[in-house]
Structure 1
Amino acid sequence: MAPNRFLHHSHGFEQEKLSHAGRQHPLGLAYPAIIEIRTRAHWSRNPTWIATSWSALRLYGMRWFCDHADACFITRTTWQAPRSVLHARRHGWIRSPEPQQKLMLKSGLDPTVPPLRTAPPELAVASALDSVQRGTHSWWVPKVPGMTPTEVRLIQLADACCRLWDLVPAALLPLIHHYLNSRECRLIARHSDAGSDSPAETSLRLALTGLAEGMVTQHRIFIDNRLISVADIAWPRLKVLVYYDGGHHGERPQWETDNALSRALLQAGYIVLRYTRAELSNLTWIRHNVSAVLQSAQVN
């Protein structure tokens, strides 16, 4: 896991996950353990290192993207890519964009190793976004019509950061724009939305953007003055609702609950569209399907 640091097999990934991770990693690296364990191992040998980028985001509570990323640290040495799964990605020291302001490092985020210092959130986010743009970290994304995979990943990450810190994109950008180029800032300003609960919902929203006016996320639906549902994506005026059903929606209790909710919404005059993870691999078909429904709703 790190030089002279070993991982018990019970804490490692299954071989299938390792193989998939290796195919997705830009350097073909398949890390045997989740990033926080690798971060602790590297820090135990180098206690002056400061966790940043994906290591820092995981310590701040990011659920997505981090598990198979490089462990990342700010060090006093030059930038260096990992040579193998036993090495971390080293970042050169980055000064605050304000000349008189020092970077406020965080300690105590990891209860297992409280002395581990972590880069501030704005630097961690900007560094992770930059690594996506440069292609030093990637993950599978469905093909979104009109967008590159890198652009989709950037928006997924920006959306997830907004949800993590309860920010709107307009509040996120001033914190990180010093560290990003203008193109990345414009992309986030145009496409990011704090209303996506998962990367899959971000992909779905991006695929449906521009189909009709009035699209919103996390739309609350009341029937008889009672909140009965929050739609992932909606066109309220047309009463068209779109839901992304993750893996747990296939389990029988949740499936029955979803069916009952759909019936109630249909009776109230709504059009309900549900899409699964498997269907997300064909966003072009989903876009055509939703477009046809919206056109029909506008006519009626």
Structure 2
Amino acid sequence: MSESPYLSDRYRETSRTTLHAIVTALSGALATNRQVVSLAVMTLAAGGHLLLEDVPGIGKTTLARALARTISAQVSRIQFTSDMLPSDITGVTVFDQGAREFTFFRGPVFAEIVLADEINRANPKAQAALLEAMEERRVTVDGTTYELPRPFIVIATQNPVEMEGTYPLPEAQLDRFMTRTSLGYPTPQAEARMLISPSGRDPVGALKPVCTAGDMRAIIQTAAHIHVSQTVAAYAVSLLSATRNSPQYRLGASPRAGLALLAMSRVRALMQGQDSVFPGDVRAMAIPVLSHRLVLADSAYGSTASERDQALDSLLARVPAPRGA
């Protein structure tokens, strides 16, 4: 039986070079922290979805459009509102009187990169409409199932919960997002460059494609084949168990969180030029993968993203890493 090509050094090196080229291209075009850009690219390569928690007007839509441009993919934007219907996301079946048959009109979820803007302004029905698409990569309308394109990533934005008209996302919805991060405000230097650039200039317009959607599918498969030893897997389980057994949390990390943690660790190892995952990769990915999935026992503590990250970092620091792994 022939060995999978995704295990070859050539595939790993090509994937690593391409991922770094995408990050460099995006960092050069956007006034966004390179670490945030790198996390978005890694989430795409891990086959997951990204949640951005931030205030309006800092470039979340531009990030999604730029990411789509670099991989020659289609991007769509869904603006969530309180009166949105599930069919506004998935699409609708309409009877064509001329052809005397039903025709399905695809919704905006049928794109490689979907920006779900202000997802926590939508009602629970509309939020739930994304669940099957995010988890199964397909949608079912009127009893018929339609496959979504590959790669497929939902980049959802969430306003701070204290803003008017927002609804907290339920734990089941949050668990579908592989990673969470915040764009934050640009540095003074980057913001100054943005302000003095010609009015109306589209920062995405100058971006050139780095690869194709087919190339990204190959990268996703290559990352999925990065080796994980039993020792490293046991270390990941120890991190998950720490959240489940801590009195600090009412709800710990789920098994899905463990799969996401290893998927992101594989991509990090790939970008580091490694052929296997080390404990440092797992530890580095723990906060962006786990923080948003956990429910604190005391709701008054750790209410902000920064405080939640600090609480989790303190807990995980007490879990010893294996030696020699």
Query: Same fold by TM (over 0.5)?
Result: no
TM-score bin (small chain): under 0.3
TM-score, with normalisation over the residues of structure 1?
0.27
- For the pair shown, the structure with the greater C-alpha radius of gyration is 1
Higher RCO (C-alpha 8 Å, min separation 6): 2
